Amino acid sequence: MKGLHAVVTGGGRGIGAAIAARLAAEGVTLTLMGRNEERLRQQAEQLGGAHIVCVDVTDEAGVNAAFENARAAHGPVRILVNNAGQAESAPALKTDLGLWQHMLDVNLTGTWLCTRAALPDLLAEGGRIVNVASTAGLVGYPYVAAYVAAKHGVVGLTRALALEFAARGVTVNAVCPGYTDTDLIVGAVQTIQDKTGRSEEQARAALARSNPQGQLVQPGQVADAVAWLCSPGASAITGQAIAVAGGEVMTG
């Protein structure tokens, strides 16, 4: 993978930052995309240098411009990691159209817009697309209907594109983390606190117990799975949704 140009969206924190660091260790040339310029800049500095582009992945024109910017800096995109996402919780009857649409826009439409922007390079040169979905893309969870629907959409998109491009030198896969130790679990912790009256520590422990290994998934564990899917050794792997969840969800 050395020298290949990878774009990682949501690359400034959490799972995205871990993926960027893991790919950098493989010698990949990086463009980090996200909404927070300061966070992206800090991450780029930690990596010893990476190109950064501020973009809202729900903005079609902004996404197209961001990928042109990335190409100008580092050439054709050969690896795309669609990591940008957001989770918000609400009971079904309190999930209004605004929340529903926002979850679809950020998690599903954003993944599609970035994929479409990268496809000309990938189809011309060959490469990898890895979508960071969630176990919520494989099973249901209460109080996050919109998020679950969006992540199921990401898995469906992954499978459709994998078949469409199977003979074109492009693999398309998804990784589906369970509850991961990043700031994105704050919403899940808060929901448990609100519904049960438990403390934050008790709520985090409850999430960890959902994992048969008895722990929250670590960002680096997700990053390792992504790096493998981007490697030459995974060239025959496409259309898969791989759960990184300690056995919480099993696919077959």
Q: What is the pLDDT of residues 134-151, one digit of tens each?
A: 999 999 999 999 999 999
Residue 133, domain member (yes or no): yes
Q: What is the pLDDT of residues 206-252, one digit of tens each?
A: 888 888 888 888 999 999 999 999 999 999 999 999 999 889 888 76
What pLDDT shows up at residue 191?
Answer: 74
Q: What are phi and psi of 234, to 5 degrees?
A: -105, 25
- Within the chain, what is the greatest distance between any pair of CA atoms? 55
* For the chain, percent of residues with pLDDT exceeding 90: 79
Average per-residue pLDDT for the chain: 94
- Residue 74's domain comprises 5-179+217-244
Q: State pTM to two decimals.
A: 0.92
Confidence check: pLDDT of 202 > 70? yes
Instruction: Calculate mean pLDDT across residues 151-169.
Output: 98
Kindly list the catalytic residues.
147
What's the domain count of the chain? Answer: 1
Residue 168, domain member (yes or no): yes
CATH of the domain at 36: 3.40.50.720
Residue 58, domain member (yes or no): yes
Residue 161, domain member (yes or no): yes
Confidence check: pLDDT of 76 > 90? yes
Residue 21, domain member (yes or no): yes
Q: Which residue has the tokens 């997700």?
A: 222
**Which amino acid makes up residue 144?**
V
Q: Which two tokens stand for residue 148?
A: 């679950």
* For the chain, percent of residues with pLDDT exceeding 70: 100
Residue 184, domain member (yes or no): no
Q: Given strand 51-54, what is the order of strands in its sheet?
A: 51-54, 29-34, 5-9, 79-82, 127-132, 170-177, 241-244
What pLDDT shows up at residue 140?
Answer: 95
Residue 185, domain member (yes or no): no
Residue 175, domain member (yes or no): yes
- Please tell me which of 143-147, 187-191, 202-206 the model is most confident about, judged by mean pLDDT: 143-147
**Which are the contacts of 236, defined by CB distance < 8 A and separation ≥ 6?**
none
Instruction: Calculate mean pLDDT across residues 110-124.
Output: 98
